[in-house]
Amino acid sequence: MRTPLYAAPLVAIVDDDDLIRVSLASLLRSFGVRAEAFSSAAGFLSVGPDRFDIVVSDLHMPGISGIELKRILSGREVPTPVIIITAYPERASDWSRSDEGLLLLEKPVDGAQLITCIEKVLGRTIS
């Protein structure tokens, strides 16, 4: 069940780096966005991804990568949008050319840019 339009969106942060997870969750909460953090894509998928409005995922993670997670979520009956973050955007260039809908932000993530990207994906202002 996704968040009603009037409520703050629920964002899943999926990153194997503890510092990034904590920082992004804190950043989003400072903008009034609800956030839950996961250390792996498998952990995120195990909790039932349908309740999240959007996912912010690291590109390179052990196990399921951010791109693989995006493909899994895009193939669902109700797709969940995914924003990919990476410290190595040049490594993602092949994926971005083959996936027109790929939203890619470079680490360190600029807070205002992330909020703008989330707003664009959700089609509404959140801050």
Confidence tier at 74 by pLDDT (50, 70, 90) = very high
CA-to-CA distance for 87 and 45, rounded, in angstroms?
Answer: 23
- For the chain, count helices (H), then strands (E): 5, 5
Residues 64, 16: contact at Cβ < 8 Å? no
3-state helix, strand, coil in the chain (%, to 5): 40, 20, 40
127 contacts: CB under 8 Å, gap ≥ 6: 31, 32, 115, 119
8-67 pLDDT per residue, tens: 899 999 999 999 999 999 999 999 999 999 999 999 999 989 999 999 999 999 999 999
pLDDT (tens digit per residue) in 80-99? 999 999 988 766 555 555 55
In this prediction, residue 88 carries a pLDDT of: 81
Q: What is the pLDDT of residue 8?
A: 86
Which pTM value belongs to this model? Answer: 0.89
**pLDDT score at 4:** 58
Are 59 and 66 a contacting pair, CB within 8 Å?
yes
pLDDT at 73 over 80: yes
Q: How far apart, in whole angstroms, are the C-alpha atoms of residue 98 and residue 92?
A: 10
Name residues whose C-beta falls within 8 Å of residue 109's C-beta, 6 or more positions apart in sequence: 24, 27, 85
Which CATH fold would you assign to the domain 10-122?
Rossmann fold (3.40.50)
